[in-house]
Amino acid sequence: MKTDAQLQSDVMAELAWEPGVDHADIGVAVNDGVVTLSGFVKTYAEKLAAEKVARRVSGVNAIAQEIRVRFASDPKLADHEVAKRIVDIFNWDATIPADRIAVKVERGWVTLSGSTDWYYQREGAQKAAGRVHGVVGIKNLIEVRRHAVAQDVRTRIADAIKHAADVDAASVSVLADGSKVTLTGKVKSWHERQVAERAAWSAPGVTAVDDRITVA
């Protein structure tokens, strides 16, 4: 098992190698495997990228995200301008049902509401909004509509996890109750946990995933 000092060094090294993150103003502290990220970045997308980098480091048990978005010297966009840019992006992206998603912006914080047919559309909307300059945070309230759930949804998810090279399928258990899926077990990293969760969300008819997988 890695020491906190080793984890801190590994996370800092990963941040330094990540082209989408300017690590100069990011601080990393580790206590009992819990990584705290602090400091400042220029965009919300960069903040998410830094967290993603930390999660893929082996040995990280949890992330405390305290990074703040601090814009460069260029003028900050007004809330209505941010909202318009997000709506425009949604309208340009054929995978996002723009007519079913409402956008609200208050002091740079974006709230997305409405519904989508699939989880990837919900996540796609959040990622697209996060790339807009002026966004400091996102609250995603978009709901995934219910579909007829395949009888073999549990088998499909288990097979998807088996095919994921990054996950030891034997360490993850899948329980399906209607459209809700519960994942349990132990994996070696947050990256493995996320891969397993994405596999569950990819199954047709799944509207909720209770991820109880722990990182050993």
The list of the chain residues with pLDDT below 50 reads: none
* Rounded Cα distance, 26 and 15, in Å: 9
Architecture of domain 153-215: 2-Layer Sandwich (3.30)
The pLDDT, as a whole number, for residue 85 is: 93
Each residue's pLDDT tens digit, 114-142: 999 888 899 899 999 998 988 989 999 99
d(CA 122, CA 141): 9
Considering just the CA atoms, what is the radius of gyration of the chain in Å?
A: 19
d(CA 34, CA 39): 17
Query: Which CATH number does 4-69 carry?
Result: 3.30.1340.30
Its CATH architecture, for the domain 79-144, is: 2-Layer Sandwich (3.30)
* Start-end of CATH 3.30.1340.30 domains in the chain: 4-69, 79-144
The backbone torsions φ and ψ at residue 41, rounded to the nearest 5 degrees and listed phi first, read -135, 170
**pTM, full prediction:** 0.61
CB 52 within 8 A of CB 198: no
